[in-house]
Structure 1
């Protein structure tokens, strides 16, 4: 799978639970990465930049609650939704988890179907196109289900790579993406592509967006990358 498919990081020290979650998330079409303890989890977050983290509270080494606290205090990771898993069902524990920054809190034992629904719910916030939603920016409309893009109600001709680039930009207007971040999001980490290839496809995207007139909505940020608006 490529980064077209959202990446879910499962942090769970019980192998059987980890395997069940991985299997079901894969079946839903997600890229799945796993970690068995807190220290591995922190490394994985840096390596794979997950879209959602499913995080067990009780972990060997660094606890889940501490991982949550660290990730939510870093500017580079605070926007990643965290679903906390815990056998602690008391209200005080749930409140503590949420106050530490968890976006959702699920008590064990849980229904896998319910957890998958909660993952989808978090993805709708951070990767709306992956959830099948239509994205809109000024006069540009992107339909993620039909892969159609229109501007001023006129259909644009975009290749698959340009479509994925535009999706990334439209999901986070104003965000500055470095070439490396775009390579990871659009091409995936397992594929070697020269960073200059990004510039080529940005040029193609700009041409396509201005095919029927209108100003170029993409902005080059010197020394940093590209942004929409």
Structure 2
């Protein structure tokens, strides 16, 4: 329910500009929005529990430094490390904190630290993937791809028009199936640029983007439209 097969959204803000976005994010519905909010709350809760467990284990370690003064931060102090420590200290003294502390008290750090890092990485993973191709006649094309986690930034690349030798659909074997993908041949580069490399949408979407990209780059098209293709 949180993801779907790659879908194509086409946006043409001007006759010389077109944006093709392929995403696994389903169309927004009320149940989906509620589910995403619940998932976000679960992520935050698990991150807080992980931080509380590490804090409790650190306090039980012989290498722990004396605790910072338990004073409530004020003003800009809420955005400092002292505020984080104060919040963890307060949670540690609660019944939940005592329970978590008792559970991890005898867990070796060589086990707890990798497990906490792995859990935080899993919680930071994005549920859906979004990739796009922005075509601007006379300027070039820009490819972009959403990161795998919320901790990274999107990757993008701009290719000026004078460097584009051709845009075409290629095919390759992936396992026991033939996959079609869109590529941009760049002058002076040995390797081609694959559009939508992570999603590799089905042939109909690839051909639609190919026709639209070439039309926007080399032909005259009018009208501001927004299209969706499932």
- Establish whether TM, by shorter chain, passes 0.5: no
Query: Greater Rg, structure 1 or structure 2?
Result: 2
User: TM-score with structure 2 length normalisation?
Assistant: 0.24
Relative contact order (C-alpha < 8 Å, sep 6+): which is higher? 2
The answer to which structure has the higher strand fraction is: 2
